[in-house]
Structure 1
Amino acid sequence: MIIYVDGDACPVKGEIVEVSKKYDLQVIMVLSICHLTKSDGFSEYVVVDHRDQSVDMEIINRVKKGDVVITDDYGLASIVLMKEALCMSSRGMQYTAENIDLLLYKRHMNQKIMRAGGKVKGPAKRSNSEDRQFLINYEKMLKQSLYNSLL
């Protein structure tokens, strides 16, 4: 199992590394050249060009069944799920076959509203409790996946 992180705007990189170290799992941070940051000393960094969707395409081309992807991009999440990998948002919500269609539909409707000149409310400001919730849900998802791979 490899952990792929859509690293351009991921606010929980440290939390991902912390839990992944505990289970000795490989982490690959995929970032555009514009978002390159100092290495965390644990993760492998893959740097792509700054074109739209470059990070997503790199993850899509690498991810395999049983891997895990952390992203807030619903489009990427839907493709990851089709490849039979696990996917979670940086707020700790696991994307599933049951919830991805509704999320994509809401995104589509928001885009239509904005194209028509309307406004839509963005996500709430991130809180410390969301970081803790991410940690709990991420570790729970990893444990379940590792347990299932032993069966």
Structure 2
Amino acid sequence: MSRVFVDADACPVKAEALRVAERHGVEIHYVANGGIRPVDHPLARMVYVAQGPDEADKWIADTAGPGDVVVTADIPLAAKCVAAGAQVLNHNGEAFTPANIGPKLASRDLMADLRAADPFRQGGGRGFSAADRSRFLDALERALRAARRGG
């Protein structure tokens, strides 16, 4: 049986993920260090991990596996979950796959090095849009259908 795991501390699509999980009748686990409101739904499981860097990531990486879907923007966590056989989606609906996770990790590391070399460099990411939300809903729907089919 498939499960959805949400790296919930800064996730902008928690409610959307629950709607899709509900439609498919699968459990959804919101994993956080705390600071998020509990979700009162029979399929929702709140998992509060210890304070500390990457504790939520460690719990998800140790728990998710084949047939599961993980929602995260954290690329190292995505890499661990892809290696464990889970399907992994970013909040904008982009899938992390065995084919693209290596280049994404390399790009992340390069950008971290560039930011470290230039302390005045500011983040240049764009905001989260309605189109991103829509792509996420479609991607999660497809991922759960594929999980149900076993692929």
- What TM-score, normalized by structure 1, do the two folds share? 0.92
CA distance in 1, matches of 2:27, 2:38: 18
Which residue is 2:133 aligned to?
131
Match for 2:67: what amino acid? G
In the aligned structure 1, how far is the partner of 2:132 from the partner of 2:87? 20
1:38-86: CA deviation from partner (whole Å, max 9, x where unpaired): 3242410000122000000111121122211100000000000111111
Instruction: Give, in angstroms, the shift of residue 36 of structure 1.
Output: 2.5
Contact 1:7 1:13 in 2 (8 A): yes
Q: Please give the secondary structure, in 2, of the residue aligned with 1:20.
A: helix
Q: CA deviation at 1:24?
A: 0.2
Give the 3-state SS of the residue equivalent to 1:79 in structure 2.
helix
Deviations 1:94-149 (A, max 9, x none): 10011111111111011111111252543211111111111011101211221236
What residue is the counterpart of 2:68 in the other structure? 67
Indicate if the aligned counterparts of 1:110 and 1:120 stay in contact, CA closer than 8 A.
no
**Match for 1:134: what amino acid?**
F
Provide the residue aligned with 2:3 in structure 1. 2
Match of 1:111 in 2: 112
Match of 1:97, SS state, is coil
State how far apart, in whole Å, the 1-side matches of 2:50 and 2:116 are: 27
* Contact 1:72-1:89 within 8 A present in 2 as well: yes
Q: 3-state DSSP class of the match of 2:150?
A: helix
Instruction: Tell me the percent identity.
Output: 26
Greater length-normalized contact order (CA 8 Å, ≥ 6 residues apart): 2
Q: How does 1:9-48 map to 2 (within 5 A)?
A: 9-33=10-34, 35-41=35-41, 42-48=43-49
Q: Which amino acid aligns with 2:146?
A: Q
Instruction: Please report the RMSD computed on the Cα atoms of aligned residues, expressed in angstroms.
Output: 1.4
TM-score normalised to the size of structure 2? Answer: 0.92
Residue 19 of structure 2 aligns with an amino acid whose one-letter code is E
Q: Residues of 2 paired with 1:145 and 1:49: CA distance? A: 30
Number of aligned pairs?
Answer: 148
Q: Within 1, Cα distance between the matches of 2:70 and 2:26?
A: 13
Which consecutive unaligned segments of at least 5 residues does structure 1 have? none
Q: Say whether the 8 Å CA contact 2:69–2:143 is kept in structure 1.
A: no
